[in-house]
Chains A and B, each alone.
Chain A
Amino acid sequence: MLIKRQTILNKKMTIEPQQGASGLSFGKPGGSWGYVGSSNCGSMSVGAGADWDTRTITPTFDPNSLAYGVASGCGGHDQPWDTYCFKIRLYMGGVQVAESGYFPYWGDSDTATYIRAAHGFRALSGSQTCKCTVHNYDTVSRSFCVAMGTGSGGYGMFCVAVGSVKC
């Protein structure tokens, strides 16, 4: 038994993964939208059953890459407080790999939990689009309130980040 154990310990381990592609995009979402009055949120109308593309990256992955991605957004809806329609989606290589829970009502200042995130992983190779979208599950168009922070600088935080290892 001792010999066997020593043999195993002497074996050279070669499982350290090599670094692969990575990409990050964050900030204000694309598209035409604007501030709501002087408040600290912007507004975007999202069609029934539609995706609103907020951030997109296109990293190039080596063959045999395993990629991990995360998409997140900060905001809410301005419908009645008990309406639930918006979720974050993460797409990698033209496939939805994850979805978040519902965004809350924008006026729900007590909870301060406006951030929703989705994360997942898959094998990828070549140049692939990875994106963060806001999906409206309702049967009518709804307004999504984009959290901007205070002041004209604002943040409008949406993010998609992807990293990969060759394995």
Chain B
Amino acid sequence: MRIRVPITGTVKDFNPDEFARDGIGVYGDDGDPIRVDVDLGHVSWRLVSIDLENDEAEIEVAPDEMVVELRPGANPASPKPDEIVARPATEAEKLARLAEASVRAEHARNDPSRRRLRKLPEHVRSFQQVKHLRPRWR
């Protein structure tokens, strides 16, 4: 599932040719990298593209495959190691994890106090000129 999430960090450079190839094209400062500082829960993700106008990224999200839980009768406050077990997540649980990630992302996008990207106007102008070139295969 693809969702949009806010990004933060400092833009060091934008390469239009590389954007046309990968949909990203941007380089961040190693001391303040461009990143997604939103905990999306029990999912993993990979970056698909970056939107320098809106300070957002499009990411492909996948749910964690395992669920960790206690055996029946275990004390939740201090379970023994063999009372903590893992099992494959059901399809319903995977869908719930994706839905929760989507809600968390939407909440973060609408947060007025969120930290924006630090970038130069020329980075945005350059992005606006080539944003229609985003590769469709991504």
Contact = CB atoms under 8 A, between A and B. Distances in A.
Interface of A: 49, 64, 66, 81-82, 84, 89, 91, 93-102, 104-105, 107-111, 113, 118-125, 128-129, 137, 167
B96 interface: no
Given A64-B21, A95-B26, A96-B35, 20 more contacts: A81-B79, A82-B68, A82-B76, A89-B35, A94-B9, A94-B27, A94-B28, A95-B9, A95-B27, A95-B34, A95-B50, A101-B64, A104-B86, A105-B68, A107-B81, A109-B81, A113-B66, A118-B46, A123-B24, A129-B30
A95 B24 CA distance: 9
Contacts of B33: 91, 94-96
B91 interface: no
Interface of B: 9, 12, 15, 17-18, 21-22, 24-30, 33-37, 39-40, 42-47, 50, 64, 66, 68, 70, 76, 79, 81-82, 84-86
**Chain A: interface secondary structure?**
strand
A129 B29 CA distance: 10
Contacts, number: 106
B15 A125 contact: yes
A122 B24 contact: yes
A65 B47 CA distance: 17
Nearest to A97: B47
A153 B44 CA distance: 32
B86 A113 contact: yes
Contacts of B18: 122-125
A84 to B, nearest CB: 7
A155 B137 CA distance: 39
Contacts of A128: 27
Contacts of A125: 15, 18
Nearest to B35: A96
Interface centre among A98, A101, A120 (most CB of B within 10 A): A101
Contacts of A98: 44-47
Contacts of B40: 99
Nearest to A117: B44
A102 B47 contact: no
8 contacts: A64-B17, A94-B33, A94-B34, A110-B85, A119-B46, A123-B15, A125-B15, A167-B21
